[in-house]
Chains A and B, each alone.
Chain A
Amino acid sequence: MATNQDIKKLEGLDDYKYGFADPDEAVFRTKKGLDREVVEQISAMKGEPEWMLAYRLKALEHYVARPMPDWGADLSEFNLENIYNYVRPAESEGRSWDDVPDTIKKTFDRLGIPQAEQKFLAGVGAQYESEMVYHKIQEQLESKGVIFVSIEDGLRKHPDLFREYFGTVIPYTDNKFAALNSAVWSGGSFIYVPPNTKIDLPLQAYFRLNSANVGQYERTLIIVDEGAQVHYVEGCTAPIYSTDSFHSGVIEIIVKKGARSRYTTIQNWSNNVYNLVTQRAMVHEDASHEWVDANIGSKVTMKYPSCYLIGKGAHGEILSLAFAAGHQHQDTGGKVIHAAPYTTSKITSKSISKAGGRASYRGLLKVHEGAVGSKSNVVCDALLLDESSRSDTYPYIEIDENDVSVGHEASVSKIGEEQLFYLMSRGMSEDEAASMVVSGFIEPLVRELPMEYAVEMNRLIQLQMEGSIG
């Protein structure tokens, strides 16, 4: 339960909020004030080693000193106070099923999500009976030497491995929100796959959810050793209801020589959430990494999964989908850095905007000098469902090497009257017709999802599409 002390600390944050406009003062107050204490408290609560606390504190300093990014989505309405809501321990939220908005409950029902799971997803602390399944998978993984634990357990039980890689892919100096996450991270996964080990089934964060709730500041570290293979899936298509209006994760992945990995995210936060996530893979020689990233929910998402191709012949792929409706702004895309010869990459971005939603593709493709023979292809397709919606493309391409091949194509289309008429002439209602066109549009991404996610994804899109035309 939240203690009086906690509440007092939260109240104190108001000072911080007003001080924030004046950077000098803000730095001063934060250093002196509550935030440092909060970080110390988190670290102590988790029983962390000294080095981690020191790391967190340095990150906090950096976070405070760094200005808000002004190049992406509009964050001006963003309420800083909410950033500190994490102070409440997860189990003290004391929320009840009755507090969950009806719209969310209805969506759960229509997606066919079992009641027990619904309560869990809504964050009302119900037990989700996945423990048995989870243990069985754990046994199989352990027999192969695979580590798949919470990030906290990773630090506790595998301190050397953890320390060797933590923060190496995304240092806290990377951006303001990476700094924030580095200071206050809590929850997430730690995965290590030993050399030449192939995991056939996708690893799913979902199975672990009841033991370590996906936090506001989730932190995930995945190490895929030489020649190994893994696919990790996080999130789920059901709307994640959160009273916290801020989510800022950091995902670091190291893909060693000849290894292959894929990380799939389906994000459907409720539409009060600012979702600002940094995820990056360091891809070594002849290794490959793929990001499959679907953003359906949230109020604002800023997320650009990236691949740093640092070894000869490394390959990176980003398949990104954004659905922006109403007051949503999905500012998503991808980043690929070619820093070694014969590296290849592919970015495919698909966005759908409806009912005033805004979807932006923001991508960076950089080829360093010396990355000879590198190839990259970027394709951005946007689908607008009505006149009030918006789509933008911000493709940044920096090439410092002559011997490369780079392709970029972008298209914006509207659901055509002719397409709707054609489908309707076969007996489909206008909504069904529009939903079919959209399903077709996102098919290249859905095809890449594990079966059960693909099915849910299609249902979700249909739900999103209801009443969207006319």
Chain B
Amino acid sequence: MGSALEIRDLHVNVDEKEILKGVDLTIKPGEVHALMGPNGSGKSTLANSLMGHPGYQVTGGQVLFKGQNILDLAPDERAKMGLFLAFQYPVAIPGVSLANFLRSAINARRKMDDPEDKGIAVGEFRTLLKKKMDLLEMGHEFAGRYLNDGFSGGEKKRAEILQMATLEPEIAILDETDSGLDIDALRIVASGVNALAGPDLGVLVITHYQRILNYISPQFVHIMLAGKIVESGGPELAEHLEEQGYDWIREKQADAVESP
């Protein structure tokens, strides 16, 4: 099991309204999962809840990471354990360069492993950052720009994957990383994710469209509808969705309700 993320019967409210109505999902290292579903089905709520956004109230269930229930942990503690969320809408932090920000983030993690840690050396950090930027075909001048400030949609998403590449999480959740990307940007982002994927990384790709799955191949595909995962399967499920849309699954749900 090791670094697995286990979501058990998770219920989440936003503004007193129940959005997640009992989600079960387990992501193990080395696995790539895709979570698909129409707008408003609760995909982003799941992503934000897993990371610990204060605006989402967990009303029931458990989220175990490395065997520990993380629901009482602050977002930074979850991050330091190796959980990562690539945001759908990354916010701008004017005045803080991408490089400074990433160095602080790396140092925060190192401090958790060793409280006496003095932080990553400047030279070592530069080398690391350049390597990761090359992987994502980003110009090195990117490092000096203020975090997400004036970034285009594609730049923001690339910067998210750059952060993922630099922080080396064990479980990464990509929340609609594909939305707003043109085909070239999508290809670059996807190949970045593929380069990072491996036996030590578990990935949950949240997406509205099947498009990104042409580039990132999940072993598992789940469909979320009205706050629940209603269908799970292999890659063929995504293809089925591409051809049929979400209606067939809605109908299937309706049938199930009518004939208990």
A residues neighboring B (CB under 8 Å) = 416-419, 421-430, 432-433, 436-437, 439-444
Contact = CB atoms under 8 A, between A and B. Distances in A.
Contact of A418 (B52, B91, B96, B147): B91
Contacts of B101: 423, 426, 436
Contacts of A426: 76, 79, 101, 105, 108, 163, 167
Given A419-B91, A421-B75, 4 more contacts: A424-B79, A425-B51, A428-B104, A440-B96
Interface in B92-123: 93-96, 101, 104-105, 108-109, 112
A436 B96 contact: yes
A432 B90 contact: no
B44 to A, nearest CB: 13
Contacts of B67: none
Given A422-B93, A423-B93, A437-B93, A430 B74 contact: yes
B125 to A, nearest CB: 15
B95 A432 contact: no
Contact of B55 (A417, A419, A444): A417
B165 interface: no
Interface residue SS majority, chain A = helix
Contacts of A437: 93, 96
Contacts of B108: 426-429, 432
Given A421-B54, A424-B76, A425-B79, A436 B93 contact: yes
Given A417-B55, A432-B104, A436-B104, A425 B95 contact: no
A422 B94 contact: no
A419 B75 CA distance: 12
A26 B101 CA distance: 59
A424 B78 CA distance: 9
Which of A427, A437, A443 gathers the greatest number of chain B CB atoms within 10 Å?
A427
A428 B75 CA distance: 9
Contacts of B53: 421
A415 to B, nearest CB: 10
A444 B146 CA distance: 12
Contacts of A436: 93, 96, 101, 104
Contact of A428 (B91, B105, B147): B105
A422 B85 CA distance: 9
A421 B78 CA distance: 12
B87 interface: yes
Which of B51, B78, B95, B109 gathers the greatest number of chain A CB atoms within 10 Å?
B95
B80 interface: yes
Interface of B: 51-55, 74-76, 78-80, 84-85, 87, 90-91, 93-96, 101, 104-105, 108-109, 112, 146-147, 163, 167
Contact of B90 (A422, A433, A443): A422
Given A432-B104, A440-B94, A440-B146, A427 B109 contact: yes
Nearest to B81: A427
26 contacts: A418-B91, A419-B93, A421-B51, A422-B87, A422-B90, A422-B91, A423-B93, A424-B52, A425-B76, A425-B78, A425-B84, A425-B85, A426-B101, A426-B105, A427-B105, A427-B167, A428-B76, A428-B105, A429-B76, A432-B108, A436-B96, A436-B101, A437-B96, A441-B95, A442-B95, A443-B94
Contacts of A429: 74, 76, 108
Nearest to B167: A426
B93 to A, nearest CB: 5
Contacts of B104: 428, 432, 436
B76 A427 contact: yes
B75 A439 contact: no
Contacts of A427: 76, 79-80, 105, 108-109, 112, 167
Contacts of B96: 436-437, 439-440, 443
Contacts of A443: 94-96
Nearest to B83: A425
Contacts of A430: 74, 76
B91 A424 contact: no
B214 to A, nearest CB: 28
A384 B20 CA distance: 34
Contacts of A444: 95
Which of A421, A430, A441 gathers the greatest number of chain B CB atoms within 10 Å?
A421
3 tightest A-B contacts by CB?
A440-B95, A443-B95, A440-B96
B36 to A, nearest CB: 23
Contacts of A423: 93, 101
A315 B134 CA distance: 44
Contacts of A439: 95-96
Which of B74, B75, B101 gathers the greatest number of chain A CB atoms within 10 Å?
B75
A418 B79 CA distance: 16
B144 to A, nearest CB: 12
Contacts of B78: 425
A470 to B, nearest CB: 10
A440 B80 CA distance: 23
A421 B53 CA distance: 6
Nearest to B48: A421
Nearest to B112: A427
A425 B75 contact: yes
A436 B80 CA distance: 18
A433 B147 CA distance: 13
B160 to A, nearest CB: 10
Contacts of B167: 426-427
A75 B162 CA distance: 53
A444 B94 CA distance: 10
A437 B105 CA distance: 14
Nearest to A440: B95
B169 to A, nearest CB: 10
Nearest to B80: A427
A436 B76 CA distance: 14
B81 to A, nearest CB: 9
